[in-house]
Chain A
Amino acid sequence: MTTTKFIDIDFSKIESDRMRLNVGPQHPSTHGVLRLEVELDGEVVTNVIPHIGYLHRCFEKIAENMNYQQVIPYVDRMDYISSMNNELPYVMAVEKLLGIKVPEKVEYIRVIMAELNRIANHQIAVATFGLDAGAFTPFLYLFRDREYILWIFEKASGGRLLFNYFWVGGLANDVYPTFKEDVLNIVKQVRKTNKEIEELLIYNKIFIDRTANIGVLPADVAINYGCSGPVLRGSGVKFDLRKDDPYSIYDRFDFDIPVGTGEVGTVGDCWDRNIVRMREMEQSCRIIEQAVAQMPDSGDVQAAIPKKIRPPKGEVYFRAENPKGELGFYIISDGKDKPYRVKGRAPSFVNLSVLPEISKGYLFADLIVILGSIDIVLGEVDR
């Protein structure tokens, strides 16, 4: 791999002691319980070894011992920032096995909820990325807005963070009467704050200096490592499962796929990965507006829920675009009411494996920024 190094001094000529540094597993900027074993030459990172598994909660073993319906709360707890997006591929995989077609209204509510949660996830991602780069104020702004989105979830499902809202064949309950107005208000608020964040954080000179040309990930490396989501799109690859392998009703909406263009630095640097998230929030707003306009008012959201979930023998791999990338569920059914095997293909797990590749040769302070730009959630990495 040939990456241009953007440090003026030729560090290779300076001989200094190698040092091994242990970051984590309890460290404020590792986004959870990740342990990084960093090999340093002076201040330059020469190797990074991620150690994971500090939050291994045995999801796959538990799923083998639960009913199909009972697995949904555990699916929520995989990527606990974007639970609605996690539930979507799981319930759709089981529905594909069962051959259920869900009512129109359910599809629309699912899409609106998933896109709202995508916005909430990206708000956390941008906020914590700002924290990593030393900006505290955007964190407060974005968390204020995220709270408004959580209020909608709470009104609809009863939970603030973990919902158990999408059921196999339908929803736990219908949305409340003023749902549409609330959602449209949120969209307005998100757009307003995003404008502020662009001025406050994204095009801030200090922020650009910290993130541009840092952690460059070339497109071919990203594909070979199996990266997906904003990490892949930041490298300039126009790949989004909502467009390229459409599921649910995403083919009915008109939206763009933002990609990294190297606006202030190189294609595939930390700034690009972050701007993809910002632009995706705007695209989610567009999807939500169209979905709200098209959503039918009447309809029973529980009409297609089966009395007993007992899929025929078979297996299915279903994937969907999580805010962090491609989330897939590989479910094997042996004809009983419990799945024989559930494997979650977590996007963060795969995205994190590229960290050693892209952080070599940068300074130690940049490592924290690079890690923040990948946007991992350890609950999903370790499952």
Chain B
Amino acid sequence: MTYEEIHKILKEKFGDSVGELVNNPPSDPYVEVSAEKLFDICLELRDNPELDFDYLMCLSGVDFPENLQVVYHLYSMNKKHKFVLKVTVPKDNPKVPSIERIWRSADWHEREAYDLFGIIFEGHHNLIRIFLPYDWEGHPLRKDYKEPETYHGMRVPY
């Protein structure tokens, strides 16, 4: 299936929660969806036999100047088609529903996005830091992050 056909199915089912398909090569086409409906959209993408997205390739957080974004790259093993979802959340309340129950591979990816960006995934069973120590302060991949001067008495800058 092409991106347009998948988008059409989603648009019919979820209406305004699904944005327009943005396609400007060489970038992959993507669709912006609202955070509230994300879980249902993902469930539909996986369980609809026509779509059959059984494989979450990548989940990445992005820090834009105004807001934070989570990007989902999906793939179907049987149908061999791809799709890209994007969810934009404000910086002061970065809450996205967790899709860990749909694709288990999202478990660690969401913890990573929480660790490095501070995006809170609601409904995740164990949302704790994954790379950095538990007592680390701040989320390093935010553009305005300043690295600490010391950590446990060790000097951090060169």
Contacts and interface: CB of A to CB of B under 8 A. Distances in A.
Interface of A: 52-53, 56, 58, 60-61, 64, 96-97, 99, 223-226, 237, 239, 244-245, 314-317, 319, 326, 328, 330, 332, 340-341, 343, 345, 349-350, 353, 382
B134 to A, nearest CB: 10
B103 A224 contact: yes
Given A53-B132, A353-B104, A60 B57 contact: no
Nearest to B73: A317
B103 A314 contact: no
Nearest to A245: B80
A119 B58 CA distance: 26
Given A349-B108, A353-B108, A341 B103 contact: no
A317 B58 CA distance: 9
Contacts of B105: 224-226, 350, 353
Interface in B101-138: 103-105, 107-109, 116, 129-133
B26 A97 contact: yes
A120 B48 CA distance: 42
Contact of A314 (B26, B63, B132): B26
B42 interface: no
Nearest to A353: B108
Max chain B C-beta neighbours (<10 A), residue from A319, A341, A382: A341
Task: Tell me what chain A mostly uses at the interface: helix, strand, loop, or mixed.
Answer: mixed
A90 B77 CA distance: 23
A298 to B, nearest CB: 30
12 contacts: A52-B130, A53-B129, A53-B133, A61-B141, A99-B26, A314-B24, A319-B57, A328-B57, A330-B58, A341-B60, A345-B60, A353-B107
A326 B57 contact: yes
Contacts, number: 79
Interface in B20-46: 24, 26-28
B104 A345 contact: no
Contacts of B58: 317, 328, 330, 343, 345
By Cβ-Cβ distance, the 10 closest A-B pairs, closest first, are A226-B105, A53-B131, A314-B27, A343-B60, A56-B131, A345-B58, A353-B108, A225-B104, A315-B27, A330-B60
Contacts of B3: none
A189 B54 CA distance: 40
Contacts of B27: 314-316
Contacts of B133: 53
B109 to A, nearest CB: 8
A9 B28 CA distance: 54
B54 A53 contact: no
B28 A315 contact: yes
B9 interface: no
Given A314-B27, A316-B28, A328-B73, A226 B103 contact: yes
Given A244-B80, A317-B84, A56 B26 contact: no
Contacts of A58: 140
A96 B26 contact: yes
B72 to A, nearest CB: 11
B28 A317 contact: yes
A382 B132 CA distance: 10
A58 B147 CA distance: 12
Nearest to B106: A226
A340 B141 CA distance: 11
A36 B31 CA distance: 39
Nearest to B126: A49
A244 B55 CA distance: 14
Contacts of A60: 116, 141
Contacts of B60: 330, 341, 343, 345
B108 A350 contact: yes
Contact of A332 (B62, B80, B108): B62
B6 interface: no
Interface string B131-154: 111000000110000000000000
A224 B47 CA distance: 13
B56 interface: yes
Nearest to B30: A315
A225 B132 CA distance: 23
B89 interface: no
B10 interface: no
A99 B26 CA distance: 8
B87 interface: no
A244 B141 CA distance: 33
A154 B2 CA distance: 44
A350 B107 CA distance: 9
Max chain B C-beta neighbours (<10 A), residue from A239, A244, A345: A345
A60 to B, nearest CB: 6
A382 B56 contact: no
Max chain A C-beta neighbours (<10 A), residue from B84, B109, B132: B109
B140 A345 contact: no
A200 B1 CA distance: 48
